[in-house]
Structure 1
C-alpha cells in the first residue's frame, strides 16, 4: 500500500518523465528516418552540386537509378588527361553509354518531363524496332545516350540516322563502332567512367566496326563446299585471341593480314585449309615489351625471330601444333613493306600506309583489321581475284626480291627460343641456323636483332653462298618458287 500511495502522490512527475521518454525516442526515430532519406536522396542524386545545365539534366537522369558511362572521347580527355574541371567544360553535347535493357525506362520517364527528347531508331530485319540513340536537350545542352547492344564478347553502338545540327559532331553514332567491356570508376557527378581512360581512348582509334562478307561466306559453302574446320578452329582460336589481347594490353596496333584477313572477310572465319595465321604490326611501334610478352608465353610462345628490328623483322609463334606469324610493316614514302626471308634472300611485300585501322568480329572476339579490307586484298592477290578460291602455284603480286643479307647481318638475324623463353643453343638450333646461315656455327650470338658494336669474326662457310652472284639464274628460280602458295587460298 505504501508503494501505491507513493506513486499516487508523485503521479505528475512520473507522467512528465514518461512523456519526456516517449518524446526522446520519437525524436531519435525521426532523426534516423531523416538521415536515411538524405542518404537515399544522395544516392539517387548527384554527389557534387553545380548550377550548370548539365548538372540539372544529370540530376533527373539519376533518379532512374541507372548507370551512365561517360564514353565521349573529348570529355574524357578534358577531365582525366588534361585534368580540367567539369564545371568549366564548354560543350554543347556530351555522350554517355547505357545498355539497351534500360531504354524503355528512359523513354517512359522523359515523356512527361520538361526536357526535349529525340530518339534514333532502326527497323531490324525481323521488322522489330531497335532504339540506338537518345538525345535529351535542355537549354541548348544535350546529353547523348548511345545504346550499347550486346554483340558476342563486346558491344556495338549503331550509326545514328537522325538528322542533327551541322555544328554537332558525334564521336559515337558517326558510324558503327565496337566498345570493349571496361572496369569503371565513379565521378563526383555520380556518372561512371573507364578506369583506364588513356587505354579506352587508344581503343577508340580502332573502334570503327566492319562486318565480314556474309554473301561470299555462304557462297564458299554452297558453291565450293568449303566449310569451317572444327579441328582447325580448336587449334587457332585461343592463340589468336591471346595475341590480340596481349597487343591491345601493350597498346601496339596490329591487323589481321594475308590469308587470315581473307579468311575473315571471305569465309567469316578461317580459310579451311590454312596452316598458319598472319598479323601485321607497325615497325615504328616495336619495343622489347612485345618480345617479352611472347617469350615463354604459355599459349603461343616465340619460337623464332627473323630479321633485324630495323629490317624485315618477323616473329614466328608456335603453340605446339599451329604457327602464327607477326610481320612488322616499315613505312617508306607513300607505302609500307614487310619482309619475308628465304634462306639468305630478302623479299618485300608492299602494303598500303594503313593510317587508320578498324575492328571486326572473329570467333566472337574483336580483332583489328585494315579499314579498307577489299583494297588490301586486291593489293595482295590481284583485283577481285581473291573472291574465289585460287589454283595451286599462286604467286603473290605484291612480293618482290629485294637483296641478300650480308654475312654479318645474317648472323644476327636469326634466333630460336625454347618454350620456356630461353635462347635455344642445342643441336637442333645449330643445324637449323647453320642451314639458313650457310655457316658451320659452333655457338649462337647472344645479341637480339641488333648488330654488335665490335668487329665480328665470321665462322667458316659450309659451301658457296646459295644466292651468290655467280648463280643469278638460280636465284631467279628460287625467287619464283618462294613466292608460290602450294595450296588453294
Structure 2
C-alpha cells in the first residue's frame, strides 16, 4: 500500500473515531439531562425489568384508559381530589404553562391512582370492555352492588349493578366510580364492598377517595379540556365539586325496618293522610328551594326526621314539617325569602343569641325551623311558650350531617340518626305516639327559665 493510501486510511479512521467519541459525549450529555429532568419532574427511566415507572408510567396508564374511554364512548369525567385541587392553584397553572418539555403535572400526582366518574345513566354496560382492557394490558376489577333505586318496601331484592371499576397496570390504578341519577335529580354512587372471593391486594382500597361510603352530588356541568396532553372532561365548577365531596356521605332509607314497622302499625292510607303527605312533600320541596337559593344548609329534624328513619315517609298525624339549621348559618333575609315564596310568618320566638325558632304557614301544613346552638359536648335548640314566656331547651348529642332522600328530594339528616331520634323520643321511638305535648313529651326537654317581660315584644312574636 502506498504512503498516500495509508495516510488516507488513517485520516478516515481518525475522523470516524472522533465522530464516535463526539456522539458518545453527546449521548452521555443527553442522558445526564434526562436524569436531571426525571428527578425534578418525577419521571423515571426503565427499571430492571424493562417497565416504565414513576409519573411516566402513570401517564401511559392514563393514555391507555382514555383510549378505552374513546373507543366505548364512556361518559367519564375527572373527580380525582388531588388533581382537581391542583387545578385550583394558580401558581401550579402558571408553572405548567411555562414548561416546554413533556410533563405530567395534574393527572400524575404523589399517589398511584387517579379517579374518574362514569355517568351510569348515559352508559350501557358492554362486556367487551373487559376484553378491550386486556388487549391493552390492563387488569380490571369490577365491583357490583344492590341498586337502591329498585329497592322498596314491596320488593327488598334489588338487582345488582356496577358500582366501581379498577383498571390496573404495573401496580398503578385508574379508579372509576359509577354515578347514577336518582329520583331526586341528583347523582349517587354506592360503597365499594369487596366480596370474599376478591383480591384485597389489588388496590390500596383504604386510600381511595370514593367508596368508603355511598355518596350524593348535584349533577355538575362538565367542560372538555386538555391536561398533560390528554383530553379529559372536568366539572366546570371543580371547587364546588370538591366542597360537595367533603360532605357527600349518603344514607339509604331503611326499607326493611320500615316494612317491619308497617306490619305492626299498618300505614294510614286514608284520604286525609294521603292529602297531608302530598302537601308536606310540596312544602318540603319549596323550603329546600328557598334555603338552597340562600345557601343555608338544613336537615330533617324532630318528627320529620323520625318519619324518615322509622318508616321512610312523612308521619301523617304530625301536621307539620320540621327542619334544623345551625345558628351560625342564620341569615336575616330568611323570613323575607319564605314570605316572598308564599309562606307567611306564623310566629318568631327567641332571638339569634338564644332559642331562635321560626314558623311559617303553608297550605294547611306548618313549617317549623329550629335553630341549633353548639355548647361543648352537646347541641341544643330552644322553645318558647307564647302565653307565659317560659323557655325550654332540647338537648342532643353532637352529630354530623349526611345526605338521604325523602319524598323524591335530596335532603340532609343527622348521620348518627338513631342517637338523634332517641335523644328526642327516647328508647321507645319506634312506637307511634299520636298525642304529643312539645313542652313535656320530648325525652330531651328541660325548662330553661323565662323571658324577661321587657323582651317579650322581641322574643314572642305571633302573627
TM-score (norm 2): 0.71
Residue 128 (structure 1) shift: 5.1
* Deviation by residue 1:376-413 (Cα, 9 ceiling, x = unmatched): 11111112x01111363561121111011123433222
Residue 181 (structure 1) shift: 1.9
Which residue of structure 1 aligns with residue 105 of structure 2? Answer: 88
Q: 1:232 to 1:409 in 2, by over 3 A?
A: same
- 221, 229, 244: which one aligns with 1:183: 221
Matches within 5 A, 1:62-101: 62-64=69-71, 65-80=73-88, 84-85=92-93, 87-89=104-106, 90=109, 91-100=111-120, 101=123
Indicate conservation of the 8 Å contact 1:306/1:341, yes or no: yes
- 153, 167, 173: which one aligns with 1:142: 173
Q: 2-side partners of 1:293 and 1:84: how far apart?
A: 41
Matches within 5 A, 1:128-277: 129-152=160-183, 153-162=185-194, 163=200, 165-166=203-204, 168-189=206-227, 190-227=231-268, 229-277=273-321
Gaps of 5+ in 2: 1-56, 97-103, 148-155, 195-199
Matches within 5 A, 1:269-418: 269-298=313-342, 300-343=343-386, 344-354=389-399, 356-383=400-427, 385-390=428-433, 392=435, 395-415=441-461
Q: 2-side partners of 1:261 and 1:241: how far apart?
A: 15
Indicate conservation of the 8 Å contact 1:81/1:198, yes or no: no
* Deviation by residue 1:89-135 (Cα, 9 ceiling, x = unmatched): 42322221113334426435313222222222237775854221111
Indicate conservation of the 8 Å contact 1:246/1:293, yes or no: yes
Structural RMSD (CA): 2.8
Instruction: Determine helix, strand or coil for the equivalent of 1:95.
Output: strand
* Deviation by residue 1:270-313 (Cα, 9 ceiling, x = unmatched): 11211101111111222335344324124x45444322111111
Residue 144 (structure 1) shift: 0.9
Q: 1-side partners of 2:350 and 2:450: how far apart?
A: 12
Q: 2-side partners of 1:51 and 1:154: how far apart?
A: 32
Q: 1:406 to 1:263 in 2, by over 3 A?
A: same
Residue 367 (structure 1) shift: 0.9
Q: 1:166 to 1:185 in 2, by over 3 A?
A: closer
- 101, 116, 141: which one aligns with 1:118: 141
* Deviation by residue 1:306-349 (Cα, 9 ceiling, x = unmatched): 22111111121222421111111000111111111112111111
Indicate conservation of the 8 Å contact 2:68/2:132, yes or no: no
Residue 237 (structure 1) shift: 0.9
Q: 2-side partners of 1:112 and 1:288: how far apart?
A: 61
Indicate conservation of the 8 Å contact 1:296/1:302, yes or no: no
Instruction: Determine helix, strand or coil for the equivalent of 1:173.
Output: coil
Q: 1:102 to 1:69 in 2, by over 3 A?
A: farther
Indicate conservation of the 8 Å contact 1:206/1:368, yes or no: no
Residue 371 (structure 1) shift: 0.5
Q: 1-side partners of 2:433 and 2:129: how far apart?
A: 53
Instruction: Determine helix, strand or coil for the equivalent of 1:400.
Output: strand
Indicate conservation of the 8 Å contact 1:133/1:145, yes or no: yes
Moved more, 117-126 or 255-264: 117-126
Q: 1-side partners of 2:191 and 2:410: how far apart?
A: 18
Indicate conservation of the 8 Å contact 1:67/1:191, yes or no: no
